Amino acid sequence: MQLRNTHSRRHDMVMILIEEYQSLPTNTVYVIEDVEMIPAPAFTFCPKPSTLGRFPDYLIMSTQWRLELKTSTYIEKFQNISIPLLRLFEVAPKGWLRVANESIINGETIFQLDGVGHWSERTFLGNFEEKDFPYYFKCFSIFPKREITVGENSCSNILLKFKFMGIMTSDFQNKMQIDVYIHDNSEEFTNVFGLAPEKITIFNGTNTRLMVRPQVVQRLSKRTAPCVGDYGYSHSRCWENCFWEHVQLHMDLPCLSPSFLSKDVNLTAPNCTDMNAELDVLSMLHKIHNNSLPQGWKECNCPKRCNITKYDVLAPPTDACDVENERKLELNYSRLLISFPSKQVPYFREQEKLTLLDVLSNIGGIVGVCLGASLITLYDMVEMAFSTIRCKLMRRKNEVIDSGIV
């Protein structure tokens, strides 16, 4: 009788241990590593306004604008006079402006660079998070392939010089700015539902220096919190694609311009060819962002990425580098200096609290393998524990299925 009770207690202890292992308990380890090179982040630049000629700051119905646009829709006119990639930059790192070929799908233009990476050009709607009516603006995102040297105490790792002369033909010169975003190279830029990364704003006639420090987060995919390890997967693009698919499916839109859609989304609504319908759609989209989510939005299967790099951005006080650059800065230009001064990169690594080797070792201790117990006893105990867990899970599954039957 005493032997049976001992065997039962051991069985319960083994079962608890295996259940704990199956729940994938983890520890997060914080380490700082010294590195010489890091993968380059992606950089997104959004000029506002984004047009080379007169265009309404906010999209409102106006007889004057109808006559001046001479197009059937606002978006058609916007695309005709929006600033091209090469008109925005005067100076950029080597190869960034050497476009080999381009392709256009929906509202996304991809510029392939010679062995350096690629640009993505998109059109977005602004003021979703505010009460004002939306407006159009363009963003250019570059995804460099090359690694970046860190720890250099020089005046620049990445030097960019912007030309404000093109967008100065707009009626809104006093509002001219370029919004800059630094984000993970695997994450596409989008402003849908606050998914845009932290913003830095550049104004005309200024010198700006940014010091950037990456932080790497490495997670484990768990049943309760799954994540995706694929390099080509973008969490933000997944959410945006799902948003446009559900909007077209559930919102009964009269039309939709493909200019807003990424290359991955199919246009199922009719293309907007009338200004009245275009403004109706913009009003509907504005209400969605400010009031309610489209039906089925929560069904989007967009887990986060397991590995992601976040960037802390610091704008230090003016130093000798900036003073020297200020003397050489021409009118209607701005300069942006981006450096990565620290070789120390923090890593947040999620690790298994219990490995399979730990489990087997602990089970061995429980059933007395170290004291000469039979390996068959160990096998029987593990098999019995797993069988018990499977039976429990099957019972729970059947209960859920049975409760749903009417």
51 exposed, middle or buried (CB, 10 Å; 0-12, 13-18, 19+)?
Answer: buried
To the nearest whole percent, how much of the chain has pLDDT over 70?
66
282-295: pLDDT as tens digits = 888 877 765 555 55
**What local confidence, expressed as pLDDT, does residue 131 receive?**
47
pLDDT at 374 over 60: no
**What local confidence, expressed as pLDDT, does residue 398 receive?**
43
**What local confidence, expressed as pLDDT, does residue 115 receive?**
85
DSSP summary character for residue 228: E
223 exposed, middle or buried (CB, 10 Å; 0-12, 13-18, 19+)?
Answer: exposed
Q: How many CB atoms lie within 10 A of CB 224?
A: 6
Give residue 78's identity as a one-letter amino acid code: F
- Total-model pTM: 0.79
Tell which residue, 156, 208, 157, 168, has the closest CA to residue 336: 208
User: What distance in Å separates the CA atoms of residue 288 and residue 143, rounded to the nearest whole number?
Assistant: 31
User: What distance in Å separates the CA atoms of residue 277 and residue 270, rounded to the nearest whole number?
Assistant: 11
Cis-peptide, bond into residue 346, ω within 30° of zero: no
pLDDT confidence tier of residue 220, bands split at 50, 70 and 90: confident
* DSSP assignment of 176-223: -EEEEEEE-TTSPP--GGG----EEEEETT-EEEEEEEEEEEE----S
48-99: pLDDT as tens digits = 888 887 777 666 655 566 666 667 788 888 898 899 999 999 999 999 999 9
pLDDT confidence tier of residue 192, bands split at 50, 70 and 90: confident
